[in-house]
Amino acid sequence: MRTVDWTALRPRDEEPAVEGLRERKKRILRRQLSDTATEMFMERGFDAVRVAEIAEACGVSEKTVFNYFPTKESLVLDMGEATLNSLRTTLADPDLSPVDAALKILSTELDDITSWLNSQNDPAEAKAMLLRFGMLIRSTPSLRAYQRDTADRQVAVAAEVLAQRTGMSPDDPEPQIAATSLLALWPIQFRALSKHLNLTQTFEELRNAVSADVQRAAQLIDIGLNSLATRPEQPEKQPPGRGAR
């Protein structure tokens, strides 16, 4: 018997309001593959589990697994795509500053985690599972590398959105540094969650403590990002041979 319902920890927008039977079956199988892989990795270690074993446990072929997940690492780190989608939509909202948009996404993700913890029959075991999940990633070089690659993709998407908001190019230094700064708030939240997980009495206290840490970090970058408004004026180019003495 499971003491923790791991499968319930999923982004809210992963389940569309309207979908056909085929799409629903594909979504459920994708979730089953990821959840089964995560449990096997946490029990035996990432490198000790073969993709063929995950496929067998789910009653599908190894080829089917790779049709849903391009790499073994993506089986366990599959939630970064939801963050990418949120960046594309929320960060583009002109009514939100870049920092407020990032905080809105982070707040939703934190709500998902604390709500999941609160819904478990054994919250203490659920907390322990989250800590073990973090340890699994930190102790596995290939998972850390995949996480860095995902973070790079998120920065690239954020830079594109910020460039569109300001009339700049994604390659300009302003959207690049702004995107990098914003995405740095995600590891701040993950570390704060690990730090406060067993130091707080209630899940509301946990959420407030983690949010406070994220807000402190956000305040440091808010002033700089609020100055990211329009394309900066470029110095006028001198014709060749002019201006030299």
The predicted model scores a pTM of: 0.82
The H-assigned helical ranges of 120-202 are: 123-138, 141-166, 173-183, 185-196
pLDDT for 16 equals 60
> Would you state the pLDDT for residue 22?
87
- At 1 the pLDDT is 41
**80-226 shares the fold of 18-75:** no
Confidence of residue 20 (pLDDT cuts 50, 70, 90): confident
What does the mean pLDDT of the chain come to? 86
Q: Domain ranges for the chain, please list them.
A: 18-75, 80-226
Q: Is the pLDDT at 190 greater than 80, yes or no?
A: yes
Give the CATH superfamily of 80-226: Tetracycline Repressor, domain 2 (1.10.357.10)
pLDDT score recorded for residue 60: 96
Q: In terms of Cα–Cα distance, which of 144, 137, 114 is closest to 127? A: 114
Contacts of 190 (CB under 8 A, 6+ apart): 134
How far is 169 from 39, CA to CA, in rounded Å?
A: 42
Q: What is the C-alpha separation between 39 and 7, in angstroms, rounded?
A: 10
First-last CA distance in the chain: 84
- CA 87 from chain center: how many Å? 10
pLDDT of residue 245: 43
Architecture of domain 18-75: Orthogonal Bundle (1.10)
The predicted-structure confidence for 140-186, as pLDDT tens digits, reads as follows: 999 999 999 999 999 999 999 999 998 999 999 999 999 999 999 99
Residue 56 in tokens: 């067998």
d(CA 170, CA 160): 5
